[in-house]
Amino acid sequence: MDWKNLPRSGGGVQPSGGGLPGGGLAVGGGIGGLLLALLAMFFGVDPSVVLGGGESPPAQTQSPAGQAGETEEYEFLDRILGSTNEVWGGIFQQAGRTYTKPVLVPFRGAVRSACGQATSAVGPFYCPLDNKIYLDTSFFAQMDRQLGGGGDFAYSYVIAHEVGHHVQNELGIADQVTRAQQGARTQAEANAYGVRLELQADCFAGVWGHRVSSLANLTPEDVREAVNTAAAIGDDALQQQSRGYVVPDSFTHGSSQQRVNWFMTGFRTGDPNRCDTFSQPYNQL
């Protein structure tokens, strides 16, 4: 993957500049944690399963937007975000709509969002209240070790998935799903809406991949990286890893097979209209 060919975001990456005051760990605790659990849309990693929770590396101030002296990682995030802006900006424009660019906030340890406070333990997430994607960059190292092996296109898929949630927010899909979940009679029914939303975000990530594939010189190996990640973060894979058995009703992001299939649907077609995960029967997703 030649990610350096991708366009810059023009200031869309805004490092949080460190953790919470006093180094407080707030995930799951208090109103902030609750709000976060209710509102934010996560990448799909159960924090208790993968990250063990509670770990807080020292806050690190990252190099700001200045091109000289910026880190390689910052430039990577900036170009991936920039390319999602171009792709979705173009798709929205063709549909006669305006795309509001999201902000990407890399952080280490802990961060404060409009959806509440979070630590790295929650994994990457999108907060619809401030239109920001929060990404603890140590998650990439976690992917290398535990979640399918990582790789630059796999990292890009994570970012593009969160951007997919932003697109859903822009289109009003996220609100509709929240309302449907509130009207659900059972937890399993509410979870099913969440799975549809997550699989659509995977498909949207694939759409982005399709549309940058020639510019970024994507290879079959790159695609394998993303597929390995999608498979590693399927609910069944994570549950199998943590409990030793699988509980389909408790799925909130979709199975490994579903995540791979929907990512590839977007990737093969490049067409967001093929990402309708809401029309078909749940057992045929």
> What's the min distance (Å) between Cβ of 176 and Zn ion?
16
Q: Based on DSSP, count helices (H) and strands (E) in the chain, helices before strands.
A: 10, 6
> What's the min distance (Å) between Cβ of 43 and Zn ion?
5
> What's the min distance (Å) between Cβ of 41 and Zn ion?
5
Single-letter amino acid, residue 113: S
For Zn ion, the closer CB: 112 or 161: 161
Would you give the distance in Å from CA 188 to the centre of its chain?
23
> What's the min distance (Å) between Cβ of 122 and Zn ion?
12
- How far is 18 from 88, CA to CA, in rounded Å? 30
> What's the min distance (Å) between Cβ of 198 and Zn ion?
5
Do residues 103 and 12 lie in contact, with contact meaning Cβ atoms separated by under 8 Å?
yes
For Zn ion, the closer CB: 25 or 159: 159
Residues that bind Zn ion (CB under 5 A): 41, 198, 201
For Zn ion, the closer CB: 136 or 198: 198
Long-range contacts of 167-176 (CB under 8 A, 24+ apart): 167/88, 167/204, 167/272, 168/41, 168/197, 168/200, 168/201, 168/204, 169/126, 169/128, 169/131, 170/92, 170/97, 170/99, 170/100, 173/197, 173/200, 174/41, 174/128
Q: What is the CA radius of gyration of the chain?
A: 18
